[in-house]
Chain A
Amino acid sequence: MSPSENPFYTAFALILGMDQGLIDIVTLSLQVSLLAVLLASALALPLGAALALWRFPGRNALIVLLNALMGLPPVVAGLCVYLLLSRAGPLGQFGLLFTPTAMVIAQVILVFPIIAALTRQQVETLHNEYAEQLRSLGLKQLRMMPTLLWDARFGLLTVILAGFGRASAEVGAVMIVGGNIDGVTRVMTTSIVLETSKGNLPLALGLGIVLLSLVTLINALAHTVSETAKRRLG
């Protein structure tokens, strides 16, 4: 295997080369996925906690629905967002199709059920443990919510990382709503698809290794932060 055919060599050369095109692609990938996870978390953490604490008719159905949506195929989410944002669609006048914003919207839809469903599970477990104590303090559900979310924060970090994993790894949704436009909506995963379709397999795999390294780095960072925080708090 010659050096140019070795994906590890290619990945190494890509990282060392610091090619501007690659930097742009990596930056956009991170911007889109991190923003999607941030927005999804802002909505899904409170919703997940609320589902854990309140009892209302249809609650079980909602939980089942959220759990099921964790398996939503990215290409279906992409297609729905495409039809929504297309000029002929209900939100067409904003001209958002084939922009990074459209990609964020699609990824929020993919990440939201994962974070909401897993948060519900985490908070419910914690709530069951502390139910007596919290009730003896006379706390209402609304007051319990921030306390329980804060207490579950280390578990929730893993939940958020699972959401980030989903966002950074998916290709079906961003391909449809972003269009894989060079320099505008091309991200790591769509580049990998493109290079594969050109038959440039070493470069495709090299990009895959770069993406995986990046995701590993982010996970390591999150892990370090949470371990440090745990030690500080005893």
Chain B
Amino acid sequence: MKKTTTLATASLLTSGLVGLSWSASLLANDDFITLASTTSTENSGLFDAIIPTFTDATGIDVRVVAVGTGQAFEIARRGDADSLLVHDTAGEEQFVADGYASERLDVMYNDFVIVGPSDDPADISSSANVAEAFARIAESESPFASRGDDSGTNRAELRLWEDAEVTPQGEWYRELGSGMGPTLNTAAGMNAYTFTDRATWVAFENPQDLTLLFEGDDALFNQYGTLLLSEQRHPHLKHDLAAQWHQWLVSEEGQQAIADFTVNGQQLFFPNAQSSSNTQ
């Protein structure tokens, strides 16, 4: 019986220590906000580059939960994040109209591109515009990997199929229901075309035979916006701290930090907040 007591004491002690070290580390940085954002901004390394600058200036840490835009809206709608940075302008405006956010501001943009097998079986690289590129993929029934997850990228892709007057269905059109990274991994594995934001593509390290085949159409513009969440709907959120982040993103300093972020020497996000002077 003595051994049981020793064992019980030991486990109690351990759990106590674990608990203690934990609460200590949590108390250490109380000034933080939770930001719901997209995988493209997190996976490309943008937040790792700009958040330290913001934290140095304000003492506020930003904890990023990176999910698809659809899920990010849901997290904010339920009051589980203090701030929101996504890329679905129509959805963001609806979010404001529905009363979940009080203000939406443009922060930056990048663009979508189409990547695919290097031999380009659908010959999209010679298309005049993105609608034609999509139409050629459908016509040749070349394998196409779609996010299929109601993300900002997925919503943009579906709008482009509409523009191309194609209903994407059939053996060749594969809805993966995954984030951008997993979709690129799968597309690389089955050597399929896919639609991606440039930032994730440039930072992606497993392209195999995939290569960038189509870019540069105005329809591929990808705008990111920051949303100030509604104080009325979720009074418990850290609105003061979140407002500082919201304002910093569109400030000259924040816009410069975004412009300074590069991967392999390539700028991935282009600041375009209205309130600041043109920093490009």
Contacts and interface: CB of A to CB of B under 8 A. Distances in A.
Interface of A: 31, 34-35, 38-39, 86-89, 92-93, 95, 97-100, 146, 150, 179-182, 184, 194, 196-201
Given A179-B34, A179-B63, A182-B48, 17 more contacts: A38-B11, A86-B78, A87-B234, A88-B78, A93-B236, A98-B34, A98-B65, A179-B65, A181-B64, A182-B63, A194-B43, A197-B180, A198-B204, A199-B184, A199-B185, A199-B188, A199-B205
Interface stretch (B14-22, B105-113, B249-257): B14-22
Nearest to B236: A87
Contacts, number: 77
B84 to A, nearest CB: 14
A147 to B, nearest CB: 10
B225 interface: no
Interface string B8-40: 000100110011011000100000001000010
Interface string B60-101: 000111100000000000111000000000000000000000
Contacts of B207: 199
Contacts of B79: 86-88, 92
B63 A197 contact: no
A87 B184 CA distance: 34
B37 to A, nearest CB: 11
B64 A201 contact: no
A99 B26 CA distance: 9
A198 B22 contact: no
B203 interface: yes
Nearest to A178: B65
A185 B71 CA distance: 18
